Amino acid sequence: MAKAELMDYDKALELFEPVLGFEVHVELNTKTKMFSDAPNFFGGEPNTNITPVDLGLPGSLPVVNETAIRYSISLGLALGCQIAESSRFARKNYFYPDLAKNYQISQFDEPIAYEGSVDVELASGRVVTVEIERAHMEEDAGKLTHIGGATGRIQGAEYSLVDYNRAGVPLVEIVTKMITGAEHDAPELAKAYVSTIRDIIVSLGISDAKMERGNIRCDANISLSPRGSGKLGTRTETKNVNSLRSVERAIRYEIQRQAAILAKGGTIIQETRHWHEDTGQTSAGRPKSDADDYRYFPEPDLLPVVPGIALIEELRAALPEAPAIRRKRLKEAWSFSDLEFQDVVNAGLLVEIEETVAEGAMAQSARKWWMGEIARIANERGVDAATLVTPIDVSSLIALIDSGELTDRLARQVLEGVIAGEGTPSAVVAARGLKVVSDDGALIAAIDEALAAQPDVLEKIRDGKVQAAGAVIGAVMKAMKGTADAARVRELVLERAGQ
């Protein structure tokens, strides 16, 4: 893939004003699919979680999942939306191999929720209100795996495999109105907006919300207007970005790419684009279709959705606390400083730390490991920290440290094993033999061996040079491959010196 010319980011913002828009797709964690009784869960052998409805076989008819409707209404309410007294499903017609019916059941001009807004807080403390145009229900498509070729995409592939397990999974698509005024904060706002949506979804419990699995995917729209012109530019839509870090990087990249083209008098093509995590670039997909090209018409096999006031009010009363209120509560409960808490929010690790604390870890310890060693490894690998390890494993790791079974040094080795797929922290400790040696007899034997190699250490300690014990401690830790408790070794060395 040829590398596009990019303009310096600050220079691009001097010349152009960015206009943003986001379409966030949320897979709902209902037990069955949107229009069939096929099981809805991640994984499984290809083409096993399917029914005739999912495959669009003749004579099969869709039936709406009631739980999916309730979840969709709850999400709409949490987004501050109005809930439609009546909404209707439509057929969105297009051909692609992973869409067995050759149309997708979605909602078009009559969505379940509309006209809402969410407040998004940036690292600087700036709050941006993002207006929501609509949140509509639909079904997911299947998954294609392209075999052969250099890019893993359909172009150049030798053949493609299709898995319909995901076909028919319930989705809610959240569509924003145009977002102006973001300026230099545009990439950060993109990341913070998706993070805010994820926080809302997690609080509602309506989705597994794992971006690495595609439970949440973002289509990021961006266009540039010549500064002061008042004219809208041509937008591109970077499809299916599935990490917070990637959303931020994709927006920054598109601003720099589009600015370089426009500054030379070129034109932007209205198209979909693909994000490449490995290269940090986008590439052209297909020309972007407008709604008319999909030939929407009402789905004849489904009645309108009419929830009724009683149901809407029941779901409104059951809403959890808003993310902003939740953040304030957690900050106070965890006794984090303003800077500590803001760092957690900016890193997109609030959910992970909250779940780790819920598993029994102390808040400061959870923050230390997520924001420290786990974040370091994630940065080195260019992935989100949440994709490396689970809150349960981090809590278990911290429990082993708190019990004295692991030192921080050993815990880092255990963490590496967990991330490498060697099992739970306890399993890694057992397999690698990393448990702290608490047997004084074994420690004394190692100390005596170290003292024999450095016979003058005891005299130095007795003469008041207590720091001389460090040489023995280091030798013991090396001999025992880090499994000794350094504090206990120091105590025993000082006892040997009569201190």
- What was the pLDDT predicted at 403? 82
Is residue 2, in this structure, part of any structural domain at all? Answer: no
Same domain assignment for residues 341 and 301: no
Same domain assignment for residues 181 and 253: yes
- What was the pLDDT predicted at 1? 58
Same domain assignment for residues 137 and 40: yes
Number of domains in the chain: 3
Which carries the bigger pLDDT value, residue 221 or residue 292? 221
Same domain assignment for residues 296 and 336: no
Q: Is 85 helix (H, G, I), strand (E, B) or coil?
A: coil
Helix 391-402 vs helix 350-358: angle between axes, to the nearest 10 degrees?
50
* Eight-class DSSP state of 179: B
SS3 string, 380-449, reads HHCCCHHHCCCHHHHHHHHHHHHCCCCCHHHHHHHHHHHHCCCCCHHHHHHHHCCCCECCHHHHHHHHHH
- Among residues 338, 389, 387, 380, which one has the least CA distance to residue 361? 389
Q: Torsion angle, CA of 154/38/298/144, rounded to 10 degrees?
A: 0
Same domain assignment for residues 428 and 445: no
Cα 380 from chain centroid (whole Å): 17
Same domain assignment for residues 366 and 308: no
Same domain assignment for residues 123 and 270: yes
- Tokens standing for 275? 């994000």
Same domain assignment for residues 104 and 213: yes
- The sheet with strand 297-298 has its strands ordered as 103-106, 90-93, 297-298
Domain residues for the domain of 216 are 9-312
- pLDDT tens-digit series, residues 166-209: 999 999 999 999 999 999 999 999 999 999 999 899 889 999 98
Residue corresponding to tokens 């060693």 = 373
Helix 323-334 vs helix 350-358: angle between axes, to the nearest 10 degrees?
60
Q: The dihedral of CA 284, 290, 294, 296: what is its sign?
A: positive
What CATH number is given to the structural domain containing 469? 1.10.10
Q: Which of 292, 312, 332 is the last residue of a domain?
A: 312
Rg of the Cα trace of the chain? 28
- pLDDT tens-digit series, residues 242-288: 889 999 999 999 999 999 999 999 999 999 999 988 889 999 887 76
Measured between alpha carbons, how far is 210 from 391 in angstroms, rounded to an integer? 13
Which string of DSSP letters, residue by residue, matches 358-370? HTT--HHHHHHHI
- What was the pLDDT predicted at 148? 84
Residue corresponding to tokens 């190692």 = 446
pLDDT > 70: what percent of the chain?
A: 85
- What was the pLDDT predicted at 457? 64
Q: The dihedral of CA 447, 448, 453, 456: what is its sign?
A: positive
Same domain assignment for residues 214 and 335: no
- Tokens standing for 190? 């993109």
pLDDT above 60: residue 440: no
Which carries the bigger pLDDT value, residue 410 or residue 164? 164
Q: Which of 432, 454, 479 is the last residue of a domain?
A: 432
Same domain assignment for residues 326 and 299: no
Is residue 94, in this structure, part of any structural domain at all? Answer: yes
- What was the pLDDT predicted at 123? 82
Is residue 4, in this structure, part of any structural domain at all? Answer: no
Same domain assignment for residues 413 and 476: no
- Tokens standing for 191? 């990341």
pLDDT above 90: residue 228: no
- What was the pLDDT predicted at 465? 61
Is residue 289, in this structure, part of any structural domain at all? Answer: yes
Same domain assignment for residues 454 and 423: no
- What was the pLDDT predicted at 485? 63
Mean pLDDT for 399-426 is 89
Confidence of residue 121 (pLDDT cuts 50, 70, 90): confident
Long-range pairs of 205-208 with CB within 8 A, sequence gap ≥ 24: 205/29, 206/26, 206/28, 206/29, 206/71, 206/74, 206/75, 207/26, 207/27, 207/28, 207/29, 208/27, 208/29, 208/42
Q: What are phi and psi of 100, to 5 degrees?
A: -60, -30
Q: Average pLDDT over the chain, rounded to whole?
A: 88
Q: Which of 265, 280, 312 is the last residue of a domain?
A: 312
